[in-house]
Structure 1
């Protein structure tokens, strides 16, 4: 199913006429991370703030809906953002790392994989990573009533 079809069915079922959504896939391991979200194990994500600044993109906002895609751009599930905050990379908490649901869910694992991911993403844009870099932290809920 594609994002548009999933959203239309969800919006109709929930009488959402004024709401919009974004459709996107996780930048690394899209299939694995989408499945963690679908199962409710991943309820948070993090992005490099400098990339938002560079592109002039707005930060996510509480209450926004997203259709999560896999690597084939197939819709996997719908989420709603419940919390957004910005923190330096070096101040990301164990709680946030656990909510991301990846690896062993530890802060050390989170730092290792996110430092590597952020370094690569920033280098492609001519930017450098450092531990004071701002990170956009987003928490969300999986809308379990998405059944098609």
Structure 2
């Protein structure tokens, strides 16, 4: 069965760390900027949706299934969710700082054609998942 693909961040060290964190079980959540979905004309993913997560070489590294999807303002993300991202965030403040830097990065600006406005009310897609199959 061909599944839609999911690419964490951009190819390179950040993506490789994310894939490794999924494979180790440290990463069980991910966050997307709602603006990116809207700009791409893609619907927000639904619970039960499965994705093939690609590594930096474009190969399927792991299959995940979404178990919770919420569209929430940045101010509603909590410490538990931040730690579930598997990136070693101590708390939501550290998580938020890192995500704001990424969402304002050159790569995201290139995708959107502008720098997104980041604030307490900026909407993100907070997703929790489980690993279905490795490799």
* Match 1:88 to one of 73, 77, 81: 73
2:70 is the alignment partner of 1:70: no
Q: Structure 1 stretches (4+) deviating beyond 4 angstroms?
A: none
TM-score (norm 1): 0.78
Match of 2:36 in 1: 51
Q: Radius of gyration: which is bigger?
A: 1
- Per-residue CA deviation, residues 82-124 of structure 1 (Å, 9 max, x unaligned), is 0100111122111110111112342122111101011125533
Q: TM-score, normalised by structure 2?
A: 0.85
Give yes or no for the alignment of 1:128 onto 2:116.
yes
**How many residues are matched?**
128
Equivalent position of 2:131 in the other structure: 142
| 5+ long unaligned stretches in structure 1 | 1-7, 9-19
Q: How much is the aligned-residue C-alpha RMSD, in angstroms?
A: 1.8
Contact residue 62 and residue 84 of structure 1 kept, 8 A: yes
Q: Which runs of 5+ in 2 are unaligned?
A: none
- Which residue pairs with 1:12 in the alignment? none
